[in-house]
Each structure stands twice: as C-alpha cells, then as structure tokens.
A and B are shown apart, each in its own frame.
Chain A
Amino acid sequence: MSDTPMLSAQDVARHFDVSKPLIQRIIAREGKRTLRAVDGLSFDIPKGTTLSLVGESGCGKSTVARLVVGLYGTTRGRVMFDGQDLSLARADSKQRSRMQMIFQDPYASLNPRWRVVDIVAEPIRAFGLMSDKQAIITRVGELLTQVGLSPLDGQKYPHEFSGGQRQRISIARALSSNPEFLVCDEPTSALDVSVQAQILNLMKELQTRLGLTYLFISHNLAVVRQVSDRIGVMYLGKLVELSPAETLFSAPRHPYTRALMEAIPDLEMTGRQRIPVGGEVPSPISPPPGCTFHPRCPLANARCKVEVPVMKPAGTAMVACHAVEEGRATL
C-alpha cells in the first residue's frame, strides 16, 4: 500500500450565497450575504483508517461530507482523492465507484417503490460493473449476507424492514461497487441504541475485512470514540482540534472540545458536577470576529476577540487556540 492518503483536503471552503433577491436588496439597501458553511479545512485520511468529524448542528460537518464526494463543489481549496484531484476523479466512473456514501435517514435514502435487490444493484448497473442478470442477483445475495440479511430479503420492499435493517441495506448498496472509501454521514443517529451497536459493530467488521477507509460524521462523541483512529472537532465551519482518538479523550486541549465532553450526561453518575457551556452557536452568516468560539470561551482574552487562531501542533494534536498556544489552558 502506498503512502498517498485516501483523501486529502487542503484548505477546503464552501460558501453559500444566502442573499435576498436583488430587488429586495436594492430597496433595503443591503449587500450580499454569504454563509461560510465550511471555511478552510485541511486534513488527510490515510488508507484503511477512520477519521471522524464531530460538532454541533450547523458546524458544517455534513457539508464536508458532501464536499469530499463531490456533491458540492469547493469555493476554495481542493480535495485530493488517492493523489488525484477530486474533480478529475469524479469525471472517471472507475474512480467514482471507489467512493460511496451512507446517509443518516434510512427511511428517506431508500426508494420505497423499488425492491431491495434493485436498490442494492443500482450502483452495479450505474457503473456497468456487471451485465449478466443472474450474476447481479448472486452478487446482491452475497452483499446482503455480508451485512447480516438474507439473500431472500432482496425480493422485499424497504417498508418491510426496521430502521436498523434498512441501514444495513444502505450499507449493502454502498458496498456493491467495491468501494475503498466510505463517507458516513450520521449513520446511526436515527437508530435506537441497541440497533446502533449492531450497525457500529458491522461497520468495524467490514473495515477489517475489506480494508475500508471511513470518513465518519457524527455529533455523538461516545460513538466516535468507538470507531475512530483520528477525530476532528468542528466549530462554525472550522476545525478547532484534530487529534488521534485516544489523545482527544485523554487530553482534550481546545476549550470547545472540553466543553463538549463536559456536556455529555454522565451514565456512571460519579456525582461529578457538570458545568454546561454557556450561550449558543452563533450564526455562521455573521460569525464573531477573531476566534469564533470566544463569546462562549472561559479562557477568551483581548487577542481572541481580534485574531483568528490557526491550527498549530500541540503534542500529537493540532489545535487552533491562542490560549493553548500561550500555555494559558491548563491540562
């Protein structure tokens, strides 16, 4: 295996124009308005590993998922897929078949009017990987077995399955083009906890067996801990911390990462007093100047209010925080 990362994002940004219509803008004398959903993100995902992105709603994590498979174009920066520019890779169906996506809602992502066999076989047909009808059916049977369903389930419709089973169908569909890279956008957040465990176990098994590379998007830190090699924490369209999974949990550095961990209800009930982080995520249309986290940050000072922090190495982690850099944040 070469050292080229499966995926490499270099200063990727995606802005959306959310201006009002021209006439209204003229009447109200307003300018254009831009939503910076993702604003300068850089990361690599080595082959066979899992990178997770966590953050609260509106932090841009789902936008990243769509950017790296080419569902959105980039406003700035570029995405490299196995050493090749993503826009070139997208044009080549052979390259394109190497990446697949699993979505959050297994109720919305499967066509209710198709039989499961057709749903799972769609990528095979779309990429022209096989043409023999019988061979396709056999292959679909194998895929269904691989995700823990029966080949006979192919004849059923999605509504005959529970949420967890549907997510298994989504995974079988994603695997049908023999991809190497899977983007999973909140694959378990619509599922019950006992079913979530089934799906997470299945995804780990498949990774070991097929050598898959995952980009895993989630808001749940406990889930992320179970599946990731490295974790990136996002806040308002930017990465604030990127570390090996164990480091992030044993020594979280960025004040936002710590706040997120504090916020998780404690199942062990050690009687630890939680200090909820104050305030709310500001609007990405008019983010605060300087470090976007400063209005909620207990360590913010004058510098944080004006100067945007950049990602700098801190131990094995990368952190974008003035307080960490200046040594004001105690571990």
Chain B
Amino acid sequence: MTLLQVKNLRVEFPTRRGTLVALDDVSFDIAPGEVLGVVGESGAGKSMTGAAIIGLLEPPGRIAGGEILLEGRRIDNLPYEQMRQIRGRQIGAIFQDPLTTLNPLYTIGRQLVETMTTHLPIGPGEAREKAIGWLELVGIPAARERIDSYPHEFSGGMRQRVVIALALCAEPKLIVADEPTTALDVSIQAQVIAMLKTLAREKGTAMMLVTHDMGVIAETADRVAVMYAGRIGEIGPVREVVRHARHPYSQGLMGSIPPLDRRVERLQQIDGAMPRLTAIPQGCAYNPRCPKVFERCRVERPELLDAGTTRAACWLYAEGAGHV
C-alpha cells in the first residue's frame, strides 16, 4: 500500500489582480520507506508541494482542488488541531534553515522531550533518556552534557542534526525535508546526507526530499520528480531520470550541471527563464524554451505520459508522435 498519495493537487493564491495557480494538477505517491526526490528551479513549486502536504501553506495560499491522503485517509481538509497532531507524530518536517526551526529560548533537550511527550505515550524522564539516544544517533558528541544547551551554542551543521533528531524523535512514517543541506558546507552536507539516509533506512521512514541539488538527489532518492512551473514534468526512477531523462526540460536541467570529472568548453544551457505564475504560456509551459517544440505543444497541455521507464508530460511521447 502507498503511504502518501497526492491526487490532482491544486494550490491557488488569490490576489487583487486575480488568482495565481501555484500548483496545478500535481499527482504522485510515496511508498513506505521510499525516498522521493523533488527537483526543479526556484519557483517551480517544489517547496509549495511540501508545505501543502504538512498543512503549512502560507496564507492566502490554499488548496483549491485535489486530495492528499496519508495511509488512505484524507489529511488536506482536517481542522488545524487534528492536523497538528498528525504533523510531528505521522509527518516530520525538516527545513532549510535550522535556526528558524529551533526555538532559541528553549534548550534542545526541552524541545526534544516536549515533542516526544506530546506525541508518544511516555513520561518526561523516559523522554529525556530517549532524547540523549537520538542526539547520539545523529552524531552530536557528548550528547549527555550538550542536551541542556541552547540552539545558539551549536554550529550550523550540529544544529541541523538537532533538527533532524527533532523530526525523527516521534518516529513519523513520513519526513518532508525541504532543502535540508542547502545551508551547510559541502563537507558537512555529506555527513548529514549520509546520516539521514541511514536513519531513514533503519527506521523504515519514507521521505520527500525537496532540493535543487541534483547530486544530493542522485545519492539519496529512489525516485525523482522534476517540477516546472507548478507541475510535474517528469517522474521516474532516479537512475533513469538522471542518466536518460525523457522530458526535454529534465534533459536541459541535467545537462546544465557542471561536471566535476572533466572540463567542457561550453556548458549546455537552457535559454530564457521559467515563466512567472502570472504569465504561464498556453499549452506546455516549457514550449517557449523547448528545443523540440512542435505545433501541438503550443496549444494543448500534456499530461504525464508513459515514456519508457519514466513518465513525462511531453507530447513527444504521445501515441503516434514518433519517439525521439
């Protein structure tokens, strides 16, 4: 059974000049223990998808259509208090900036204990012991002494470890991690990713990993969804999407990553920029930048179509289009 199902999700922002559609008809599943990577350029809607799942869309943004189901139960229309119960207990969240996630006025121990006593049937004493265990697990040296420290007493990398401990301590089934390593230095990034991966595997936690860093996705995710202008352009096994992307946008995105193992005279680039939400072109949103554009792309919007081992929203893969 799937753990999380997102069906035809649509998120709108009502503004004075009309309604902006930030997410349009986004559908995907996450299986228990699976890591789904979500990539795309800024403004593609990847963080928005994460925020919609954990019920933390910034107003006036709202879910205007579709469903989000956790273990077959709808969670997108729950009242705030019920959603708060699910958030933390069932779904953990890790954000980019560890400083804004942690309360600067409480010791990290207190924050961990509070999370556990709220969501798990244990008392404060037991929770404290468990908290020390979690801190050790995420690699905080001298956890027993440092549990009574405040967030500002930790470095950036250590703080992000505390945030991960906080997200995992109530043993949720799903973690939504939004750019968890972007604020960290590369050497620390590697440590944190390795740890996150091991923990998720050991505990059987599923993860939705939102990032713009393809390297992180390639190493961590099982499947990957490429987003463009509020929609999924391509979704499939990570190896397939990274090596043999089917959608011309995914191809461009992968091609523009500077290679580490060789020097190229000229990097592959995608000309132009992603359209603003106010001016999404008719047909396929990528058509003005697409090197393989043809007539149908300018008129009709493609849905996700079978493209061999992945699914791509591209008319090249429509029946009778003649695969390219």
Taking Cβ atoms with an 8 Å cutoff, the residues of A that contact B are 56-57, 162-165, 192-198, 200-201, 204, 219-223, 225-226, 245-246, 249, 259-269, 274, 276-278, 280-281
Contact = CB atoms under 8 A, between A and B. Distances in A.
14 contacts: A192-B41, A194-B269, A194-B270, A220-B258, A221-B186, A222-B259, A226-B258, A264-B260, A265-B190, A266-B219, A274-B219, A276-B190, A277-B187, A281-B185
Contacts, number: 124
B190 A274 contact: yes
Contact of A276 (B191, B213, B257, B266): B191
5 shortest interchain CB distances as A-B pairs: A265-B215, A276-B190, A197-B256, A56-B185, A192-B41
Interface in B228-280: 238-239, 242, 252-253, 256-271, 273-274
Nearest to B242: A267
A57 B190 contact: no
Nearest to A190: B42
B268 to A, nearest CB: 6
Given A56-B186, A56-B187, A264-B186, 14 more contacts: A192-B42, A196-B258, A200-B267, A201-B267, A222-B258, A225-B260, A225-B263, A260-B186, A264-B190, A265-B190, A265-B216, A269-B238, A274-B194, A276-B190
Contacts of A164: 273
A276 B194 contact: yes
A267 B243 CA distance: 9
A234 to B, nearest CB: 12
Contact of B267 (A57, A226, A262, A267): A226
B194 A246 contact: no
Contacts of B189: 263, 265
A262 B190 contact: yes
A162 B273 contact: yes
Task: Classify the interface of chain A: helix, strand, loop or mixed.
Answer: helix
Given A165-B273, A281-B185, A263 B257 contact: no
Q: Which of A192, A268, A278 has the most chain B CB atoms closer than 10 A to its own CB?
A: A192
A265 B273 contact: no
A197 B273 contact: no
B155 interface: yes
B40 to A, nearest CB: 9
A269 B242 contact: yes
A252 to B, nearest CB: 12
A14 B263 CA distance: 33
B258 A219 contact: no
Contacts of B256: 193-194, 196-197
B191 A267 contact: no
Q: Which of A204, A220, A263 has the most chain B CB atoms closer than 10 A to its own CB?
A: A263
B187 A197 contact: no
Task: Classify the interface of chain B: helix, strand, loop or mixed.
Answer: loop
A193 B190 contact: no
B92 interface: no
Contacts of A204: 265-266
Interface of B: 41-42, 155, 157-158, 185-191, 193-194, 212-216, 218-219, 238-239, 242, 252-253, 256-271, 273-274
Contacts of B265: 204
Contacts of A276: 187, 190-191, 194
Nearest to B214: A267
Nearest to B267: A197
Contact of B41 (A194, A198, A200, A222): A194
Nearest to A223: B258
Nearest to A273: B194
A278 B158 CA distance: 12
A57 B185 contact: yes
Given A56-B185, A267-B242, A194 B253 contact: yes
A219 B215 contact: no
Q: Which of B158, B219, B271 has the most chain A CB atoms closer than 10 A to its own CB?
A: B219
A261 B239 CA distance: 22
Given A194-B256, A222-B258, A246 B242 contact: no
A264 B260 CA distance: 9
Contacts of A163: 42
Contacts of A162: 273-274
A193 to B, nearest CB: 5
Contacts of B257: 193, 222, 267
A297 to B, nearest CB: 12
A216 to B, nearest CB: 13
Contacts of A200: 258, 267
A56 B299 CA distance: 47
Contacts of B157: 280
Given A56-B185, A222-B258, A198 B214 contact: no
B201 to A, nearest CB: 15
A304 B217 CA distance: 37
A226 B263 contact: yes
A268 B215 CA distance: 9
Nearest to B239: A269
Nearest to A56: B185
Nearest to B255: A197
A222 B212 CA distance: 15
A192 B267 contact: no
Nearest to A274: B190
Given A226-B263, A226-B264, A259-B187, A280 B158 contact: yes
Contacts of B264: 226
Contacts of B260: 221-222, 225, 249, 261, 264, 267
A197 B254 CA distance: 11
Nearest to A55: B185
Contacts of B194: 274, 276
